[in-house]
Structure formats: structure tokens, C-alpha cells
Amino acid sequence: MSCGRPDGLPLVDAMTPAVLVLAGPLTRDEVAGLCDDVRALLDATGARAVVCDVGGIGPPGLATVDALARMQLAARRAGGRIRLRDPDPALRALLRLVGLAFEVEGQTEEGEPAGGVEEAVEPGDPVL
């Protein structure tokens, strides 16, 4: 069940200008508008990433996976990406199951050490 989309961009957090808050179960009818919102946020803020707060979307389903995949594609075509905020563990598992990888806010990027961690160099280590 979903209510109609309001005119204009969805709720945007003023402290972090490129945040898109997704609420309620996502439907196929909303996907085009959400993709437009992602492109508009990237364009308006000049940010390289839009943070999608998915904490309020409810139980995940294939419509949610489809919407997120299409939003990521729209962001990539616009020169950016989306990052998930507060994803439910079930959503993360479902995304992994279908082979989609998303950055999660607060998670280190693959291959990057966690914040505050310094790599030690041992004598005899090859120079990269």
C-alpha cells in the first residue's frame, strides 16, 4: 500500500543536501519518479552520491530491489552513485542474493582500511 507522490523532491535533509528519504513499500509506479529525484539531487547539489535512507521502507521485496537497482543506474548515468542509509538486514541479504552491491553509509569501501586503522609495513614486504 502506498500513497500518492507529493509534487517536487521528497524530503531532503538540509544538513546533508543529497539525502533522499524513502518511505513505505516501494511500487513500480514510483520508480521513474525516484530515478528523476536521484538525478535532480545529483544535479542540484553537485554531490557525487545520493544517500538513500531506506530505514522506513518496510519489509523488502523484489519491487524494492528493482527500484534501488534502477535508481543506482540513473545515478551512474548522471555521474554519481547511491549509498544506502539504515538498510534492514533482510534488505541487505536480498540485495546480496540477487547479486547487487550497494555502498552502505558508515561502511568502509572495499579494499579500504577502517577509519583509524594504520597498515603496518614489515621488513621484507614487497613495495607496491
For 50-117, the DSSP string reads EEEEEEES-S--HHHHHHHHHHHHHHHHTT-EEEEES--HHHHHHHHHTT---EETTSPPTTSPPTT-
pTM for this model (two decimals): 0.70
Angle (nearest 5°) at CA 94 between 28 and 50? 65
What per-residue confidence (pLDDT) applies to 116?
A: 54
DSSP, res 15? S
CA distance 12 to 98: 29
Sequence-ordered list of residues with C-beta below 8 angstroms from that of 88, at least 6 positions apart, any chain = 54, 55, 57, 59, 60
Which domains can be identified in the chain, with CATH numbers?
19-104 (3.30.750.24)
Mean pLDDT by 10 residues, the chain (128 residues): 52 60 88 94 91 91 93 95 93 94 74 55 67
What per-residue confidence (pLDDT) applies to 58?
A: 86
What per-residue confidence (pLDDT) applies to 47?
A: 87
CA distance 62 to 45: 30
